[in-house]
Every structure is written in C-alpha cells, then in structure tokens.
Structure 1
Amino acid sequence: MNTSGKKFLSILIGISALLLIIASFGDLQISKAVLNQNSIFGNIFQIFGMFPSALIPFISAEIIFIYGLRQKNQISKWILSLSALGFAYWSAWGWVDGWMFYGVTTLNNIKTHQALGAANNSIGATATYSFGLEALFTFIILVIGTFLIYRWLSKKTYEELSQLIVVAIAGIAVVYVSNSIVNTMKVNWGRFRPYEIKEIVSSTKGTFTNWWHLNGATGHQSFPSGHTIAAAAALFLPFFADRKNLKGQKILAYSGLIFTLLMMAARVRIGAHFLSDTTMSLIIAALVTFVATKAIGYSFIEEDSLN
C-alpha cells in the first residue's frame, strides 16, 4: 500500500475512532441538540441516499453479464448473461423500492400534517404505491445502466474483465455480509431511536441506552444504522477503478467516505439514529470491505499497477 493508500486508511480509522469516542459520551446530548424530523437535508438522504447498496450489486451483476456475453460456450454464455441481467434488475428494484417507500411515506406525512420524517423507520411502517410504476422505473434504470456499463467495459480486454469478475463477486459479498451483520445486531441490540425516547420526545415511552448495552429483541432497531450501512457500500467503488488509475481510485475512495459521512449526519439530524448507530455502521462497512478486498489482493488505493 502506498502513501496515499495508508493516508486514506488512517483517515478512515481516525474518523471512525474519534466519532465513536464522541458518541460514547455525547450520544444523547447530540441528538437533543440537532434532532429535526422536518430537516430537508435529513429527508433527502433518507429517501434517496441508500442507493450505493443497490449500485454495487448492480454494477457487479452487469460486469458478470458482459463477461457472459464474451463466453464462447453458448450454454455458459446464456446462463451467465441472463442470470446476471436478472440479478441486476432485482438490485435496481431494491433501489427503486426504497425511493418509493420513503417518498410515499413522506408525502403521507405531509398530508396528515406530521413531521416529514416521522415514523418512516418504525417497524410495521407501510406505504402503498404502484407496482407498475415501480417496475417501469426499474426497467429504465436497467436499460440506462446496462448501456453505460457496456460502453465502459467494451474497451476492456478479456483478462481485465476476468479481474473485474473477482471484484464483482467481492462487491456482492461485501454488501450482503455488511447488511446481514447490521440486521442481526439491530434485532439483538433492541435500541430505541432518538425520536422514540422520552428524554427527547416527552410523549414517548422509550428510554435511552448507551450503544454498548444490549437490550435484546425489543422490536426497536436503532443500532446500528441501516441507512448508513447502505450508504457506506460506496466505500467499495474505488475497487471498480482500473488498478493503474490511482487518481480514479482516490476520487472514488474519498467520495465514498464523504457520502457516508453526509448520510451519518443526515440520520442523526432527522432523529432516526444516534451518532454511535451511524458510526458503528461505518466501522462495519470499512472492516468488511477491507477484509474482502485484501483477500483478493486489492487495496483502496494501490501502490503499483496490478498485472
């Protein structure tokens, strides 16, 4: 790993450690000071900010799709291509479904004169929207995404594409392992969200607990943050960059980190999570990404080009 790679990793570790220390002492006070469920910033990220967790599998599936098209064996060609394209569609569907769910619940909150972000993250929250419209938006994303990724990959040699296949598989694994860890922890920690605790909203019955306190399966799922783990999938983006393109790796690595930090701020602002909830998701995403990519011999920012 070169100086740039070490610097990025040091920044990532430093920010994570610092935020967790701050959260350990100031979780409740921070949420009290900044919570605003009508925050436009918070609601925009709540509705649209989860896309990286769908984007990484989508790109990965498209890589497998293009790789399949280059196979000489017709059986392998069609099995790989069709299954990968189906997976890409399914990934895009999850992307659109998240937008529509949070968008519709926000509109419903406006109609019923509630705070924009009220109860959108509660267990059992529901929203009704058009299946056909959702399918149409997904199809449009699939067509545009396939066209753009095909243009990107059309210039790759078969060897370069073969390397990207390994990255694609790692990307899918990173997203689903990270999400599985967070979802399991959510259930077992049973932590109330900031807008559910009486220390902040007097009309509620929940109580504040520190992030290291396991409450068990209470039905409340504040810790860790699901939105943040979804946004933090963006940390994987630099691994799609050509290993010779150090500038591209840097841009994508820092962009992914900045986007994740913005999501973290948005989740705290809207009152859906404490700072420690979001920080733990950042730590989980960083660790899973680091381990998975080291296993295939890659770094966030490479020292030398890989052959």
Structure 2
Amino acid sequence: MKKEYKIGLSIIGLLLLVFTFTDMNISNAVYNPESKFGLIFEAIGEFPSAIIATFCTVSLMLTREKDKSIKYNLGTVGYIVLLIFFSLMASMIPVKYLHGPKALIPILMAIYITVSYVIAKKCATTHKEELRRAAIVGILTFIFVIIAFNSIKFLWGRERYRHMIEVGSFAGHSMWFIPQGFASGNEFMSFPSGHSANAAIMAWITLIPTFVTSLKDKKSWFIRFAILWTLLVPVSRIVVGAHFASDVTMGVTITLVIFTLLKNKYINNLEEKDAIHMFI
C-alpha cells in the first residue's frame, strides 16, 4: 500500500475514533435547521454526482466499438436506461429542493444530455481511450457508491440528530459502529451520509486533465475544488442535523475508497503499462 494511502486511512481512522465520543457535542454546537448554508448545500450537494454519471454514460456510448451484434444492441438499451435514470436524477434534485416546477425536469434532462454529448464528442475525437477510462471510473464509482451507502443505511438504522430534537429525546443515540437493526424510516438512516458520499464523487473531476490535455497544468485546481466541495457538503449536513460527524466521515470514506480502487485499476495501472511499453 502506498504511503499516502496509509496516511489517509490513518487520518480517517483517527477522525472516526474522535467522533465516537464527540458526535453529540459537535451536533449540539452547530445545529441550525434554518442555516442558509446548510439548506443550499442540501439542495445542490448531490447534484454534481448525477451530472458526472450522465456525462460518463454518454462518453461510454460514444467511445465503444460499433458493430451489429446482439450484445451491442442490448448494450445500447442498457446505456439508454442508465442515461435516463442519471439525467432524471440530476434534474429532480434541484427541482425537489429548490421547489421548482416539475415541467422543468424533461427540459433539464435534454440540456444535460445534449451538453454532455457535445463535450464528450469533442474529447472523443482526440483522446478516445483516455475519455473511456475516465468514464468507466466515473460510472462505476457512482453505481457502487449508491449501492454501498444505501445498503448500509438500511441495515444500520441509526437515528438522525434532527429527529431526536423533534421528539425531544436523545435516548436513541448510538455510537456509529453499533448497528441498530433495519431502518424503520428515513429518520433512522443517518449512517452513513448519502449526501457526503455523493459529494465526494467530485473527486472524479481530477481525471478531466487525462482526456483534456490542455488542462493538465490546471490539475491542482481541480483537486482543490474537489476537496473544498467534499468538505462543505458534509459540514452542511451536520449543521442541519441530518447527520453526525461520523456519518459524513464514513460517507466520504466509502466513495474515496471505491474511487481510488477503480482509478488504480482503469487509469493508473494502464498508464504505468503504457510508460513501460515506451521503453520496450
């Protein structure tokens, strides 16, 4: 395991240890259900992940080898289903939280798909393989993250801080590592944070310079923005009482682990092989 990965996991482990004993104190100190900061990021926090998934789906459709086989045609149907699902999610999130008209949903879907197609088409003409690798990482990260945090939420059954405030009792508070049984409803799906997990998918933008080479010298800016977003959204979830500090930490961790594994498999390993082949 690389040194930086060990350091990262050590930091996460330390944070989870600290939050085991400070979760409630932190929430008591920052809770503000009327916080504009919290409400804004509740509305937009997950939005980029659905946009990324939409773009990656379009990219995979454009970069695959064309043929007339049954497998190809079935693949086309599968991609269309995913594209509708992801673009629908990206359209429903702002409409839901910002209380916009539902008539906007199909319009936004069309816009997201069209813009994704134009950008992906341009990138595919010069860096087809790099775009495809990044798209595979993006779409698999999104799918695996959604499955992972929703499965754990349902099995863990941890009560949300805001619900404890609402019912006027903290008797249901539990340490993050102790499952409470199947969740009986949304207010018992605090661990881990879905918003935080989806926000961390912003890490994918650090792959953009791999298929847009003109941005290679700007990679540090992509990294900074991804880090900033991955910090702001989790903090906002604690502020509005939707999650505890340990919830958001685990949400981010799930995504970063999945993203790193996929990046190593589909991008880093292949780049290393390409570099070796240059000297053979």
Quickly name the TM-score band, shorter chain normalised. 0.7 to 0.9
RMSD: 3.1
SS in 2 for 1:135: helix
Residue 231 of structure 2: which of 239, 256, 261 is its match?
A: 261
- Give the Cα separation in 1 of the matches to 2:10 and 2:225: 17
Indicate whether 1:99 and 2:94 are aligned: yes
The range that moved more, 290-299 or 19-28, is 290-299
Long gaps (5+) in structure 1 = 108-128
- Displacement, 1:50? 0.2
The correspondence for 1:242, drawn from 189, 196, 210, is 210
Change (3 A) 1:276 1:270: same
- The 1:64–1:304 alpha-carbon spacing in structure 2 relative to 1, beyond 3 Å, is closer
Partner of 1:214: 179
Q: Is the 8 A contact 1:66 1:81 kept in 2?
A: no
What is residue 23 of structure 2 aligned with on the other side?
27
Residues of 2 paired with 1:91 and 1:191: CA distance? 28
8 A Cα contact 2:192 2:248, kept in partner: yes
Letter in 2 for 1:215: Q
Aligned residues: 269
Alpha-carbon deviation of 1:39? Answer: 0.6
Aligned CA distance change for structure 1 residues 248 and 59 (closer, same or farther; 3 Å): farther
- 8 Å CA contact 2:91–2:108 kept in 1: the answer is yes
Distance 1:55 1:201, change over 3 A: same
Tell me what 1:289 maps to. 259
Q: TM-score, normalised by structure 1?
A: 0.75
Structure 1 position 150, deviation (Å) = 2.7
Q: Report the equivalent of 1:59.
A: 55
CA distance in structure 2 between the aligned counterparts of 1:24 and 1:247, rounded to whole angstroms: 40
Rate the CA distance shift 1:29–1:136 in 2: closer, same or farther, 3 A: same
Q: Report the secondary structure of 2:268's partner residue.
A: coil
Per the alignment, residue 115 of structure 1 pairs with none
In structure 1, the residue corresponding to 2:98 is in which secondary structure?
Answer: helix
Secondary structure of the structure 1 residue equivalent to 2:33: coil
Aligned match of 1:135: 106
Residues 14 and 255 of structure 1, relative CA distance in 2, 3 Å threshold: farther
Match of 2:147 in 1: 180
Q: Is the 8 A contact 2:200 2:255 kept in 1?
A: yes
- Deviation, 1:214, is 0.8
Letter in 2 for 1:54: A
1:230 equivalent among 198, 212, 235: 198
Secondary structure in structure 2 of the residue aligned to 1:150: helix
Q: Which residue of 1 aligns with 2:240?
A: 270
Secondary structure at the aligned position of 1:234 is classed as helix
1:97 positional shift? 1.2
Q: 1:207 is paired with a residue of what secondary structure?
A: coil
Does the aligned pair in 1 maintain the 2:130–2:210 contact within 8 Å? Answer: no
Partner of 1:214, secondary structure, is coil
Structure 1 range deviating more: 30-39 or 141-150:
141-150
1:204 deviation in Å? 5.1
Aligned partners of 1:251, 1:14: CA distance in 2, in Å? 25
Q: Distance in 1 between matches of 2:266 and 2:125?
A: 24
Looking at secondary structure, tell me which structure has more helix per residue: 2
For each residue in 1:225-264, what CA deviation from the matched residue of structure 2 results, as whole angstroms up to 9, or x when unmatched? 0111111111222234317765444332332222111111
Work out the CA distance in 2 between the residues paired with 1:50 and 1:137. Answer: 16
Shift of 1:148: 3.0
Equivalent-residue separation in structure 2 for 1:138 and 1:210 (angstroms): 40
